[in-house]
A and B are shown apart, each in its own frame.
Chain A
Amino acid sequence: MSTRKQHIVVVGNGMVGHRFVQELLAVHSDLPAAGIELTVLGEEPRPAYDRVHLSSFFSGSSAEDLSLVEPGFYQRPGLTLRLNARVAGIERRRNTLQLADGEVLAYDKLVLATGSYPFVPPVPGSDRPGCHVYRTIEDLEAMQASGATSASGVVVGGGLLGLECAKALRDMGLRTHVVEFAPRLMVVQVDEGGGRILRSKIEELGVQVHTERNTVDITDGATARHRMVFADGSWLETDMIVFSAGIRARDELARQCLLAIGPRGGVAIDGHCRSSDADIYAIGECASWNGQVFGLVAPGYDMARVAAAHLAGSAGVSFSGADLSTKLKLMGVDVASIGDAQGRTAGARACVFTDELKQVYKKLVVSADGKRLLGAVLVGDAAEYGTLLQMMLNGLELPEAPEQLILPAPDGMAKPALGVDALPDGAVLCSCNNVSKGQLCAAIEGGAHTIGELKAATRAGTSCGGCVPLVTQVLKAELARQGVAVNNHLCEHFAHSRQELYHLVRVEGLRSFAELLARHGRGRGCDVCKPTVANILASCWNDFVLKPEHAPLQDSNDYFLGNIQKDGTYSVVPRIPGGEITPDKLIAIGEVAKRYGLYTKITGGQRIDLFGAQAHELPRIWGELIAAGFESGHAYGKSLRTVKSCVGSTWCRYGVQDSVGMAIRLEHRYKGLRAPHKIKFGVSGCTRECAEAQGKDVGVIATERGWNLYVCGNGGMKPRHAELLAADLDEATLVRLIDRFLMFYIRTADRLQRTSTWRDNLEGGLDYLKAVVLDDRLGIAAELEAAMAQVVDSYACEWRAALDDPAARKRLRTFVNSDAGDDNVVFVPERGQIRPATAAEKQMRFKGIAVVPETV
């Protein structure tokens, strides 16, 4: 018999418990070979999920989206995950634990990762129905159910979580209040001046803030479900209440088996995350190190790494505390707190900048000698967070006039960023995942040359995303230093990126490839730069693509205004806006298909594709379709494809808006718009989302009060959920924002870059996109709208234009010197239609065996 296995049991499958398993597997990828049996016991009904982004559940993320566990992760030898398995007690003398259902398990080593529970003040009535906490997916589901029958809601607690929760209530359409015991919001992270600005910003967003209110009783209300009575005798009525008054470590198991407990609760641990019992570790929010508990995930991840290393036998790594600096966006307001934000260090001096008009508050806390940064508070604009954090963490010497770090730069010019070269290799740039500059540089050297690759290789920037601007700076600096040519040149003919060429075309008013090539390129051009430039010219000026100067630039698809197929034939797709079509038009399509013997298929974009047309047949097919009232569907272009819609409020008993009407209007507005890649829209008439708008580049979802706009989604090879850009818009605003969004994408994306990849690589991420599109941070909104107006106003059906232009029409032939068709195009019947013959089938035919069905 082999030697006995070591049984490690983890209690809790939350963020940190799961990370521990990953860390242990990183050391021992083959658990049986390492003699380890690992059992994870989780109380919740589902495996670990991303609690940090829990609120996104309200903006459309599903439980699956939030999951941190890749499918199959726990199905490996030596590893067992048991859900709905709460541990009820630990018997340390026997090294056993007991589950709630009475089952007893033995352990050799035990890891407690039980997290925290939300603290609910012991107020009479706090257990009434409609009173909630905010910690698990089940909590959120319960809040959603309450919210559906409520008109108002109160959050008790004005800390970080409380404000996030207030946003969720407001997004549910409730009149929202925040009740805070302290004299200001976010007492832990923000000082008085910052708290004031934060409060006025949040009140501006329609959330009422009540500070210095101590709830003493909750009873039946007169105008709403509950009445909250405060110590000063005042009261507030509300339909639902969420308590977010802080968290407490879940140390009940440890208390019951008499482990040492920290002064503020939590299982007391040493630098190796060991409790007072050498066989029991504690990590994450349930642990107390040096008398401190940490309510953030990054220190918990660090503990998971340390505990896994120690269990695997290396005593070299230890946990040594954590920096609690945070940056977040609360209801669209940037808030950041760095180091000693309150200026508690002896001799600390502050430097404050307040702009009550723009509602910005910034404070630096500087050491007594004025040389080092100790802390900072930023409210309303936290752009300097990354720079200041690194200065504080690495003790970098402050510049001569430190106030320059937070003062607005003249003329909106960018402030000199912290040279990333100044940072030591050990500087931790991503604190969520503990990634240092040195690790980033190594990954870049190892071949990660885009921000996406770098994220995948190091996990940097994949949690809160706050470090992405700095990580990007490191990437650029490293690539330049390692001499990797940061070559964004389009091809050998242009030493420019697509974005630069777009800019040159627009600024210099260039209208042809020849002009652009003469001024900024060399050689004759190729199949990369020609279509790209043709596409840019179309985005800017929207000239007819088959003009003699543009025609040679077009891909075969754009040249023949159809989609080339493997046998060289084309498919033809007439536009069916919003997927709505009359019976007569359906019949007309059917008749054309029959007449020309075309294969027909319904596309994913709610229209009909006709396959198997040869070049010389196209003009006649188009002509017949146009006569029946159709126009080009632009299925061939890097352009707007379809606006998919559900049937909407007109017919559907759940619909709240006319999604079909909206889809048709949007499709007509953006049809023919050429872009770096194809663009798909979806419009759903209610949150059931039958049009799958969140898988589209632009998704529009009806709400009771208007339309929610989602952007940068994608189906296909790499599905990506679209993100909410703005909510409850009226139609005019919706259209204006889509104009800006699309034109910004067209202006800045790379060649053949879909909006989803563009967004993944966009420095500053969604916040930046919102700043540009919603707040016009770059001051280009009017320009973008005008550019779109030009394209919209110059729309023409390209099929009709080609038919109306004798020279262009003459070119649409299979042979220049014959009206014959290509005899290499051979079809065979299948399921009542045609399909291209295989090579073998063609050979048979050439031997005289007829395989072509006669088309009527």
Chain B
Amino acid sequence: MNARSASAAVMESVEVSAGAGAWQPVCALDDIWPDTGVCVLLDGRQVAVFRLADGSLYALDNHDPHSGANVLSRGIVGDLGGEPVVASPIYKHHYRLRDGVCLEDPGTPLATYAVAARDGLVWLHC
């Protein structure tokens, strides 16, 4: 067990979807303005991390399969029918932040990742 995952061990209350992988700090919480997203680069993988105004954090693939571009972190977040979503800036497909399902094309959901804030840092489990 390395130091990073040890710190992450205290985050058991966070819903963790992935089995293997490790928690890593990726940026300061203040780097993400409320109701926006940022893109994290981790070992060549691009993950969009969103912080909503109520403090909740979500992370999913940055790649928008409908446009083929890595853009989701730059989409507008909001809710549709009470469900938090991000709208792709290219063709405006909506992806559910909870599970990565595309509302217009529910077939292949995006990968989502566990994410949490701790000590002013944002931690990602990849």
Contacts and interface: CB of A to CB of B under 8 A. Distances in A.
Chain A partners chain B: yes
Interface of A: 492-493, 514, 523-527, 529-531, 548, 551-557, 559-560, 564, 566-568, 615, 810-811, 813-818, 820, 822-825, 839
B76 A824 contact: no
A687 B81 CA distance: 54
B79 A527 contact: no
A815 B90 CA distance: 18
Given A527-B75, A568-B90, A817-B42, 10 more contacts: A523-B79, A523-B82, A552-B76, A559-B74, A564-B89, A811-B36, A816-B27, A816-B32, A817-B26, A824-B63
A560 B89 CA distance: 12
A526 B46 contact: no
11 contacts: A492-B80, A523-B82, A524-B77, A525-B79, A527-B76, A548-B33, A552-B34, A552-B35, A552-B76, A566-B68, A568-B90
A560 B53 contact: no
Report, nearest first, the 9 A-B pairs whose CB atoms are least far apart: A556-B89, A568-B69, A527-B87, A526-B78, A552-B35, A816-B38, A527-B76, A568-B71, A815-B41
Contacts of A559: 74
Contact of A839 (B26, B63, B68, B81): B68
Q: Specify the main secondary structure of chain A where it touches its partner.
A: loop
Contact of A564 (B46, B71, B81): B71
Interface in B25-58: 26-27, 31-36, 38-42, 44, 46, 49, 52-53
A560 B71 CA distance: 12
B118 interface: no
Contact of A555 (B42, B76, B94): B76
Nearest to B32: A816
B103 to A, nearest CB: 11
B4 interface: no
B41 to A, nearest CB: 4
Contacts of A556: 71, 74-75, 89
B5 interface: no
B69 A824 contact: yes
**Which of A493, A514, A526, A615 gathers most chain B CB within 10 Å?**
A526
B65 to A, nearest CB: 11
Nearest to B81: A492
Nearest to A564: B89
A129 B74 CA distance: 71
**Which of B34, B38, B74 gathers most chain A CB within 10 Å?**
B74
A811 B81 CA distance: 29
Nearest to A560: B74
Given A524-B52, A524-B53, A811 B33 contact: yes
Contacts of B34: 548, 552
A564 B78 CA distance: 20
B7 interface: no
A735 to B, nearest CB: 36
Nearest to A819: B41
B98 interface: no
B96 to A, nearest CB: 13
A655 B87 CA distance: 49
Contacts of B36: 551-552, 811
A806 to B, nearest CB: 12
B67 interface: yes
Interface in B57-112: 63, 67-71, 74-82, 84-85, 87, 89-90, 92, 94
Contacts of A568: 67, 69-71, 74, 90
A815 B75 contact: no
A822 B85 CA distance: 23
Interface of B: 26-27, 31-36, 38-42, 44, 46, 49, 52-53, 63, 67-71, 74-82, 84-85, 87, 89-90, 92, 94
Contacts of A527: 75-76, 78, 87, 92, 94
A818 B90 CA distance: 23
A820 to B, nearest CB: 6
B39 A815 contact: yes
A615 B37 CA distance: 14
Contacts of A822: 46, 70
B84 A524 contact: yes
A815 B44 CA distance: 11
A816 B92 contact: no
A817 B67 contact: no
A186 to B, nearest CB: 56
Contacts of B32: 816
Given A548-B33, A816-B32, A524 B75 contact: no
Nearest to A838: B68
A57 B18 CA distance: 72
Nearest to B33: A548
Given A524-B53, A568-B70, A531 B31 contact: no
Nearest to A816: B38
Contacts of A548: 33-34
Contacts of B27: 816-817
A824 B45 CA distance: 11
A555 B70 contact: no
Contacts of B40: 815-817
Given A551-B33, A817-B26, A530 B74 contact: no
Contacts of A530: 76, 78
A493 B81 CA distance: 9
A488 to B, nearest CB: 19
Contacts of B70: 568, 822, 824-825
A556 B34 CA distance: 16
Contact of A525 (B39, B46, B63, B78): B78
A610 B38 CA distance: 25
Contacts of B94: 527
A531 B81 contact: no
Contacts of A818: 41
A619 to B, nearest CB: 15
Contacts of B49: 816
A531 B41 contact: no
A684 B68 CA distance: 43
A553 B94 CA distance: 16
Nearest to A524: B79
Contacts of A525: 78-79
A568 B38 CA distance: 14
Contacts of A529: 78
Contact of B89 (A523, A555, A824): A555
A819 to B, nearest CB: 10
A220 to B, nearest CB: 73
Contacts of B44: 823
